[in-house]
Amino acid sequence: MIAIYARVSTEEQARYGYSIPAQIRECQNLIGSEPAQIYADEGVTGEILERPALGRLRARIEQGQIRRVVCLDPDRLSRKLLNQLLLTEEWQMLGVELNFVNGEYSRSPEGTLFYALRGAISEFEKAKITERMCRGRREKARQGRVLRDFKIYGYDFDPQAEQLIANEKEAIIVRQIFSWFTAPPRGMRGIAGIARALSSAQVPTKRGAVCWHRQVIRQILSNTTYIGEFYQNKWDTTGRTVQLRPRDEWILIPCPALVDLRIFTKCQALLNQARRRYSGPESDFLLSGLVRCHRCQQPLRGKTLPKRSLYLEGNRGGCGLVVEKELLEARIWKWFWDLLQKSAHNNLCPEPDFLIRRELLRILIKEIRINQGEVIVVTF
């Protein structure tokens, strides 16, 4: 049996006019009137091998059901040279013939070299296009323009001005969500209770559904857009997984604030408390999650040994910083408590217990950085 494989990504269809039917038609012209099974991945990047149709094709080949594969061009198989070579070697070992409409692949040293060169050029072109598009989007964001409609509840996208504008009907619901979370009415418990209340009232979501999920409510409560801070270039989507970029690469786009800053800050404190309760019992390390090495930027974790307790770096990289728990905590807390007392105009009061100490530190301090010389830098 002959198989035709076709693939197009959303970007390629928009930029070059590639289409699945056009690829299939060209491949069918190559094989003439012979019947063929069609395997097509539409809107899928060529940089990964985990594609639905390609996965089914590989399974049929393994089962011995396919003896010939026809494809428009090597970069339809993959945009990465390594993946192209992997597929061709895999199918060659299973006795499968591979044909391309644009160029013939021969199993000879010259054919392999030519195939590899075409793959390398294709991979380079893809990387160049991606880099150019990313650079253009970043420049557009730096000019204060919103790149597209991000479907943020409470806002509409104005394509002419390229800005977020408040959606007054949705803004009322956003404020209600924050109000319910900070001061819940009787019978309503937490995020799940808010989701149930909105679903019961048949309030439509951004996409028009009437079923609200807890995760959607949580995302609204933690989204800084509602205090007028919308960030672009925040996520890196160029790899296989989506990753958060470093904070200094984010691009701030001011937008209408829907929620008061004090209410938003209170919500973040309540969310943090809920996360800690969910994650189980707290440790007895006062500075847990706050301490980082000043030199290598590695976070320090608490570790209890038979006769001592330490703050130390993890096993991956770093410069091996180790600090005694009692000495560091005593020094940080004394500095912090003295600062609080001075700000209170020497209105002395009893020192709080451990749990309140930790809560105060986490609310008011973002990060504590230290090094072997006990130089301490505190970020509020």
Are 41 and 167 members of one domain? no
Sign of the CA dihedral 338, 339, 340, 341? positive
Arithmetic mean of pLDDT, 299-303 = 87
Q: Between residues 366 and 126, which one has the greater pLDDT?
A: 366
Number of domains in the chain: 3
pLDDT score at 14: 41
pLDDT score at 113: 54
Q: Classify residue 237 as exposed, middle or buried by CB count within 10 Å of its CB (0-12, 13-18, 19+).
A: exposed
**Is 9 an annotated catalytic residue?**
yes
Q: What is the mean pLDDT of the chain?
A: 79
Ordered DSSP codes for 330-356: HHHHHHHHHHHHHHTTT---PPP-HHH
Give me the domain span that covers residue 295.
291-379
Are 30 and 130 members of one domain? yes
Per-residue pLDDT tens over the stretch 49-91: 788 898 899 888 888 898 999 988 877 888 776 777 778 878 8
Cβ-based neighbour number of residue 42 at 10 Å: 14
Ordered DSSP codes for 264-316: HHHHHHHHHHHHHHHT-S--S-TTTTTEEETTT-PBEEEEE-SS-EEEEE-SS
pLDDT score at 180: 93
Task: From the candidates 9, 19, 199, 200, give the one annotated as an active-site residue.
Answer: 9
Residue reference for tokens 């004090």: 262
For the chain, counts of helices (H) and of strands (E): 12, 16
Task: Name residue 311's beta-bridge partners.
Answer: 302, 323
pLDDT score at 117: 59
Check: CB of residue 205 under 8 Å from CB of residue 212: yes
Q: Which helix (H) or strand (E) holds 179?
A: helix 168-182
Check: CB of residue 117 under 8 Å from CB of residue 83: no
Query: Which of the residue ranges 12-16, 136-140, 164-168 has the most confident prediction, judged by mean pLDDT?
Result: 164-168
Arithmetic mean of pLDDT, 130-155 = 75
Are 90 and 38 members of one domain? yes
Instruction: Say yes or no to pLDDT of 307 above 70.
Output: yes
Residue reference for tokens 């069918």: 28
Q: What percent of the chain has pLDDT over 70?
A: 78
The sheet with strand 367-370 has its strands ordered as: 291-293, 367-370, 376-379
CATH for 7:
3.40.50.1390
Question: Is residue 309 domain-resident?
Answer: yes
Instruction: Say yes or no to pLDDT of 348 above 60.
Output: no
pLDDT score at 179: 92
pLDDT score at 178: 93
Question: Is residue 7 domain-resident?
Answer: yes
Arithmetic mean of pLDDT, 288-312 = 86
Instruction: Say yes or no to pLDDT of 169 above 80.
Output: yes
Per-residue pLDDT tens over the stretch 205-253: 988 888 898 889 989 998 888 998 888 877 766 655 667 778 777 888 8
Confidence band (pLDDT; 50, 70, 90) for 296?
Answer: confident
Q: Classify residue 264 as exposed, middle or buried by CB count within 10 Å of its CB (0-12, 13-18, 19+).
A: buried
| HEC string for 58-106 | HHHHHCCCCCEEEECCHHHHCCCHHHHHHHHHHHHHCCCEEEECCCCCC
The span from the CA of 235 to the CA of 182, in Å, is: 29
Question: Is residue 145 domain-resident?
Answer: no
Q: Which of 158-172, 327-341, 362-376 has the lowest mean pLDDT?
A: 362-376
Question: Is residue 148 domain-resident?
Answer: no
pLDDT score at 279: 42
The span from the CA of 234 to the CA of 137, in Å, is: 12
Question: Is residue 353 domain-resident?
Answer: yes
Question: Is residue 190 domain-resident?
Answer: yes
pTM: predicted TM-score of the whole model, two decimal places: 0.44
Are 214 and 261 members of one domain? yes
Instruction: Say yes or no to pLDDT of 283 above 60.
Output: yes
Check: CB of residue 220 under 8 Å from CB of residue 226: yes
Arithmetic mean of pLDDT, 328-357 = 73
Arithmetic mean of pLDDT, 103-108 = 56
Residue reference for tokens 């060209």: 26
Query: Which of the residue ranges 125-139, 199-213, 355-369 has the most confident prediction, judged by mean pLDDT?
Result: 199-213
Q: Between residues 12 and 3, which one has the greater pLDDT?
A: 3
Non-local (6+) Cβ contacts of 165 within 8 A are: 155, 156, 157, 158, 256
